[in-house]
Amino acid sequence: MTNGPLSVNDSRIDSVVPDPVSTQPARPVMLITGGSRGIGAAVALAACATYDLAISHTGRTPVDALVDQLVAGGAGVLSLVADVGDEHQVVDSFRQIDQRFGRFDVLVNNAGIAGGYGELSTVTAEMLARLFAINVTGAFICAREAAARMSTSHGGHGGSIVNISSKAAVLGGSHEWVHYAASKGAIDTMTTGLSKELAPQGIRVNAVRPGLITTDFHLHATPGRVERMAPLIPLMRAGTADEVASAVLWLASSEASYVTGAFVDVTGGR
């Protein structure tokens, strides 16, 4: 048996018996927005041996099986149905995390949408409003609430924010989704700015920029996008959500204690 992180279909978790009345000290708590599937679910599965977890999502995707896997992997789990683009729902989510766990250590700003697939002529104000509400405003409000709990000046003990950006922020998304790439550009700027603003509060802020990763995200694009683009990548394949999760877990951990304001590209060289 290997000791690597758990994956969605990992049979190792069947043999792990969770201890419902743990005598261990409180585990660190991680919130993963968009934790129901794709990259967010992979982060949760990689984190469940170390962290108690809150996963937020829209309620569209059944999460019972995932939650069972996370509990079997050792985590206390809070599943939150909350639109990350709605400030009140985000604030309420953090209140629920306070009540359930009583501490906060890591925010993974992962929830995101493409907002549409097409050139500039397809872009509308309504599309942009929803896209930026979820991808940018949501990330900001989550960071605000997380920082209020982790800041040493507010009685917290520091912590970490990992933003899921995209290599599209650098490449621009031309002919496909410049609007989406621009929302991730905002996340990159936010990462740089907050890393400096929150460093004195003991909070590290970093970003992972995934490249072409096999998830449902590409269902927003034309069929076969992943297969079409994979040969163009230096490593000549799409990446997996688990490969992104490894970078997220490293940035969140004390192994990265001197890393802030950094961008980790998980792109196969693209």
- Sheet of 159-164: strand order equals 77-81, 52-57, 29-33, 106-109, 159-164, 203-210, 263-266
Q: How many binding residues for ligand NAP (CB under 6 A)? A: 28
- Least distance to ligand NAP from the beta carbon of 92, Å? 13
Name which position in 37, 149, 179, 204 contacts ligand NAP (CB under 6 A). Answer: 37
Interface with ligand NAP (CB under 6 A), residue from 30, 39, 66, 194? 39
Residues 6+ apart with CB under 8 A from 249: 5, 43, 46, 47, 50
| Residue 85 DSSP class | T
Q: Does 31 engage in binding with ligand NAP (CB under 6 A)?
A: no
- The verdict on 212 binding ligand NAP (CB under 6 A) reads yes
Task: Report the SS3 class of residue 103.
Answer: coil
Which amino acid is present at 18? P
Q: 94-99 long-range CB contacts below 8 Å, 24 or more apart?
A: 94/31, 94/145, 94/146, 94/149, 96/54, 97/29, 97/31, 97/54, 98/149
Site string for ligand NAP, 155-194 (x = CB under 6 A): ---------x-x----------------------------
24 is a contact residue toward ligand NAP (CB under 6 A): no
Min. distance of Cβ 182 from ligand NAP in angstroms? Answer: 12
Identified binder of ligand NAP from the candidate list 94, 101, 177, 217, rule CB under 6 A:
217
Distance CA 91, CA 109 (A): 14
φ, ψ dihedrals at 82, nearest 5°: -155, 130
Q: Which stretch binds ligand NAP (CB under 6 A): 37-45, 98-106, 170-178, 188-196?
A: 37-45
For ligand NAP, the binding residues in 224-263 under the rule CB under 6 A are none
Does residue number 64 form part of the binding site for ligand NAP (CB under 6 A)?
no
Q: Is 115 helix (H, G, I), strand (E, B) or coil?
A: coil
Q: Does 50 bind ligand NAP (CB under 6 A)?
A: no
CB of 64 to ligand NAP, least distance (A): 13
149 near ligand NAP (CB under 6 A): no
- Site membership for ligand NAP, residue 57 (CB under 6 A): yes
Cα–Cα nearest to 109, from 47, 184, 182, 58: 184
| Helical axes 241-252 vs 38-47, angle rounded to 10° | 50
- 105-134: which residues touch ligand NAP (CB under 6 A)? 110-113, 134
Quick one: how far is CA 150 from the chain centroid? 18
The whole-angstrom separation of Cα 76 and Cα 21 is: 11
Shortest CB 24 distance to ligand NAP, Å: 29
List, by residue number, the catalytic residues: 180
Q: Which two tokens stand for residue 58?
A: 């829209």
Of residues 115, 173, 210, 268, which one binds ligand NAP by CB under 6 A? 210
Residues of this chain that bind ligand NAP (CB under 6 A): 33-34, 36-40, 56-58, 60-61, 83-85, 110-113, 134, 164, 166, 210, 212-213, 215-217
